[in-house]
Amino acid sequence: MRHQLLAAAAALTVTLSAAPAAATPPPTQYAALGDSYAAGVGAGSYDQASGDCHRSSRSYAALWAAEHHPAAFLAAACSGAALQDVVADQLPRVGADTTLVTLTAGGNDLAFADAVGACLQPFTTDARCDAALDESDRLLREELPGRLDTTYRAVRTAAPNARVVVTGYPHLLETGGLCAVGTEPRRVRFDALTDRLDELIAAQADKQGFRFADPRGPFGGHGVCARDGREWINRIVLTSLWESFHPTADGQSLGYLPVVAAAAEQ
């Protein structure tokens, strides 16, 4: 009996020692790509070395990196970047060993800045606003699907093994009350355009197997004209117009960061 127990123990030892060790995941190599919303424009605390890209240490990307300490962090997002700029200027800096990519882009391809100027600045006419939003609608229908597809395929080629998180955009404006920023019909139409943009981004991202991070939920009730005054979107900033209608530091940390972090960890 004693010999049988010893033999069983020896066999168990051999079995246990032969079990393969759990694979250690590779260290996170993080690349943050996109436009002004990804760069953190409007949140302050800008990296002066980033120049007109206006990258902020309060952007959702910088906050995620500060919390998770990736082995490498590439902050490549830049104010004013359209999808073609992501492909031409940002993706060449992304290494094949990248394990996480975040991307916020597409708004500039719809001439959002022109629409903001035409609809939300004082003394603009309804005709001018309608014309700007009509053009944004046309771009969304006719050109943006192909541009997103091209960009997302390029991201996958540049970072073949990365988890890719693509974000949408929040509603800039609250509706249903009196507000000095735009008229109620303009605010409603502007937010509807954002919904169509986010739906398209989510659908195109899903085709590539990317994760979609939707900031509209957390930002709800915190756009310009918020009734409680807790606005996470800047109104017109006269001293630095380029910060106007961009997320504040709270918008980045409380609006964007939670949904990006959740998508990155799925």
3-class SS at 11?
helix
Count the alpha carbons within 13 Å of 93 in the hemisphere toward its beta carbon. Answer: 17
Among residues 36, 56, 59, 136, which one is catalytic? 36
Residue 73, phi then psi, degrees to nearest 5: -135, 115
Alpha helices per DSSP H over the chain: 2-18, 36-39, 60-68, 83-85, 112-120, 126-142, 144-158, 184-207, 216-219, 249-250, 257-264
36 is catalytic: yes
Among residues 17, 54, 246, 253, which one is catalytic? 246
222 is catalytic: no
Cα separation, 174 vs 128, whole angstroms: 21
Instruction: Count Cβ neighbours within 10 Å for each residue of 73-96 and write b for 16 or more, e otherwise.
Output: bbbbbbbebbbebbbeebbeebee
Nearest-10 crossing angle of helices 126-142, 184-207: 10
The residues assigned a catalytic role are 36, 246
